[in-house]
């Protein structure tokens, strides 16, 4: 199963915010660090705010930060909330669909996949902050782009 780009970016955003929870961060900073389009990040952050994973502060000194503790956000919940569908195959128009048990196998596989993701939180993904934080910091070279 492959996650959509929105889910991928949402997880990256949450990892970044969890790695520096004491600060407000701009979408522009995220865009530069991850080298992702600002407009795409705006849409994803809006959805993360709507879901309660992220809090947005408006104004000149505003920005975004985690809306909950990183230890309370499971990877599985983020994936469920960001993915549009978990259909592995399009069984609806298949001639054998009424008698085929493959769809049940796919449902079981997706449930197992999500169960594994439910065992990890965003906090689990940032255990080694000493190695992660430098990778998520704008260098002077990137900052001058």
Task: Tokens 């990256």: give the residue.
Answer: 12
Torsion of CA 123, 133, 83, 41, to 10 degrees: 140
63/26 Cα distance (integer angstroms): 5
137/33 Cα distance (integer angstroms): 7
Q: DSSP label at 121?
A: B
Both structure tokens of 49: 């705010």
Q: What is the pLDDT, as a whole number, of residue 139? A: 57
> What domains are there in the chain, each with its CATH number?
5-143 (1.10.10.10)
Per-residue pLDDT tens listing for the chain (145 residues) = 789 999 999 999 999 999 989 889 999 999 999 899 999 999 999 999 999 999 999 988 889 999 999 999 999 999 999 999 898 888 888 899 888 999 899 999 999 999 999 999 999 999 877 778 778 776 544 444 4
Q: What is the pLDDT, as a whole number, of residue 22? A: 86
113/83 Cα distance (integer angstroms): 13
Using DSSP, state whether 65 is helix, strand or coil: strand
27-60 confidence digits (pLDDT tens): 999 999 989 999 999 999 999 999 999 999 998 8
**pTM of the predicted model as reported, rounded to 2 decimal places:** 0.86
Using DSSP, state whether 131 is helix, strand or coil: helix
Q: Which residues contact 140 (CB under 8 A, 6 or more apart)?
A: none
């Amino acid at each position: 199963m492959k996650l959509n780009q929105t889910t991928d970016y949402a997880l990256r955003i949450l990892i970044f915010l969890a790695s520096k929870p004491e600060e407000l961060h701009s979408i522009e900073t995220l865009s530069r660090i991850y080298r992702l389009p600002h407009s795409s990040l705006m849409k994803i952050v809006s959805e993360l705010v709507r879901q309660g994973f992220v809090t947005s502060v408006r104004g000149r000194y505003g920005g975004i930060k985690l809306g909950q503790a990183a230890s309370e956000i499971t990877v599985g919940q983020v994936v469920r909330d960001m993915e549009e569908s978990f259909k592995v195959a399009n069984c609806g128009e298949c001639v054998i669909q009424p008698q085929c048990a493959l769809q049940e196998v796919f449902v079981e596989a997706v449930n197992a996949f999500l169960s594994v993701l439910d065992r990890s939180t965003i906090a689990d993904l940032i255990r080694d902050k000493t190695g992660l934080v430098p990778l998520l910091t704008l260098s002077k070279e990137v900052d001058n782009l």
